[in-house]
């Protein structure tokens, strides 16, 4: 049974490399197995989605870290701590996918993200809580729209990542909305 499980896992990995590379239309089983041992490039649209997801997760962590110190209510601070755990985990999983497919995810935030974080850090008191939650909700809604627009993800591991984490991001958006309504 254990042998069959490993064989099945190897098969799925081979399919994932095959799908992400977009190559091997008439490849033999030997060349597919050979491709599984090397890093394959990801489709351009899939690479863009992986980059956007990475920036989104990193931005959520950065903003949540700021909220753990600047938020005026304990509920917002607790929410921010949970967000840090969630998005660090998502980023870690996304990094595993990117490493397997020769995708270099952004190492730093974009200038627009940095500027947005600086503006948020200038807000104080209860206004910070509201600004943080509103900004985070807008970013979640934008990421949900991007998820929904990414209908033709070619890379199977990326597709599995999106499918398994989309519900968490939607749930997080609902939690943000409810918390925003509770804060002054």
Instruction: Please state, in angstroms and rounded to a whole number, the distance separating the CA atoms of residues 28 and 48.
Output: 30
Same domain, 32 and 56: no
Same domain, 84 and 166: yes
SS3 of residue 61 by DSSP: helix
pLDDT in tens, 32-80: 444 444 567 788 889 999 999 999 999 999 999 999 999 999 999 999 9
Cα-to-chain-centroid distance, residue 81: 17
Q: Is the pLDDT of residue 11 over 90?
A: no
* pTM for the structure as a whole: 0.76
Instruction: Please give the torsion angle defined by the CA atoms of residues 27, 33, 35 and 38, in that order, rounded to the nearest 10 degrees.
Output: -170
pLDDT in tens, 119-158: 999 999 889 999 999 999 999 999 999 888 887 888 888 9
Same domain, 102 and 64: yes
Instruction: Please state, in angstroms and rounded to a whole number, the distance separating the CA atoms of residues 130 and 126.
Output: 7
Same domain, 175 and 152: yes
Per-residue confidence (pLDDT) for residue 2, from 0 to 100: 38
Same domain, 49 and 8: no
Per-residue confidence (pLDDT) for residue 38, from 0 to 100: 58
DSSP per-residue codes, 83-148 = HHHHHHHHHHHHHHHHHHTT----SS--HHHHHHHHHHHH--HHHHHHHHHHHHHHHHHHHHHHHH
Same domain, 9 and 76: no
Same domain, 25 and 97: no
Same domain, 23 and 101: no
Q: Is the pLDDT of residue 28 over 80?
A: no
Instruction: Please state, in angstroms and rounded to a whole number, the distance separating the CA atoms of residues 143 and 140.
Output: 5
Q: What is the extent of the structural domain holding 19?
A: 1-40
Q: Is the pLDDT of residue 13 over 60?
A: no
Mean pLDDT for all residues in the chain? 80
Same domain, 78 and 35: no
Same domain, 86 and 4: no
Q: Is the pLDDT of residue 90 over 60?
A: yes
Per-residue confidence (pLDDT) for residue 39, from 0 to 100: 67
How many structural domains compose the chain? 2
Per-residue confidence (pLDDT) for residue 183, from 0 to 100: 78
């Amino acid at each position: 049974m254990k042998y069959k499980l490993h064989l099945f896992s190897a098969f799925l990995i081979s399919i994932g490399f095959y799908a992400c590379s977009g190559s091997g239309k008439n490849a033999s089983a030997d060349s597919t197995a050979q491709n599984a041992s090397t890093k394959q490039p990801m489709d351009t649209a899939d690479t863009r989605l992986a980059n956007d997801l990475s920036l989104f997760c990193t931005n959520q962590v950065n903003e949540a870290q700021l909220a753990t110190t600047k938020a005026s209510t304990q509920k917002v601070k607790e929410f921010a701590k949970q967000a840090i755990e969630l998005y660090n985990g998502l980023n870690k999983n996304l990094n595993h996918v990117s490493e397997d497919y020769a995708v270099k995810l952004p190492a730093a935030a974009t200038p627009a993200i940095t500027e947005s974080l600086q503006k948020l850090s200038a807000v104080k008191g209860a206004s910070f809580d509201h600004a943080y939650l509103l900004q985070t909700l807008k970013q979640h809604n934008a990421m949900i729209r991007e998820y929904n627009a990414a209908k033709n993800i070619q890379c199977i591991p990326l597709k599995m990542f999106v499918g398994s984490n989309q519900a968490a991001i939607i749930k997080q958006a609902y939690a943000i909305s409810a918390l925003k309504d509770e804060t002054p």
